[in-house]
Homo-oligomer: A and B are copies of this chain.
Amino acid sequence: MIGRLNHVAIAVRDIAAASALYRDTLGADVSAAVPQVEHGVTTVFVTLPNTKIEFLEPLGADSPIAKFLERNPDGGIHHLCYEVDDIIVARDQLKAKGARVLGSGEPKIGAHGKPVLFLHPKDFNGTLVELEQA
């Protein structure tokens, strides 16, 4: 069912510093920062030859990553995103096997303009899993 690893998301306190680190110290290809007001985060993508790293910095008072950064003051890996061909088929197969889908269970349009869902970390080895329709 799952296909490519679309990205690894890392929550950071200072997205400019994280961008400079990956660009200047690790020599990677780093995008400009994009505020995503509707998602409560500012994002940057690091493009590697085979996948991407996504930096997430809190944006606004109710950012969904604010609590994560309280627990992880240095930042840390927030989630993995796997691609699926059909997010509704994937969701229904996962639910039938007992996996819990977060929120309403209906896909939302994610930061890349594609339908996404999140799966409960307790069902996936303590790892928050995002599914994105490829």
Interface size on A, residues (CB 8 A): 40
Alpha-carbon gap, A75 to B11, bound state (A): 18
- The closest CB in chain B to the CB of A3 belongs to B49
Does A72 make an interface contact (CB < 8 A)? Answer: yes
Q: Is the CB of B2 within 8 A of A27?
A: yes
- For A1-31 the 0/1 string (1 means CB < 8 A from B) is 1111100101110000010010011111000
Q: Is the CB of A26 within 8 A of B10?
A: no
- Asked if A2 meets B21 with Cβ closer than 8 Å, knowing A72-B126, A82-B48, A127-B75, the reply is no
19 A/B residue pairs, CB under 8 Å, sorted by A: A1-B26, A1-B28, A2-B27, A2-B48, A3-B49, A4-B51, A5-B48, A5-B51, A8-B8, A8-B80, A21-B124, A25-B94, A25-B97, A25-B99, A26-B82, A26-B94, A73-B126, A77-B80, A77-B126
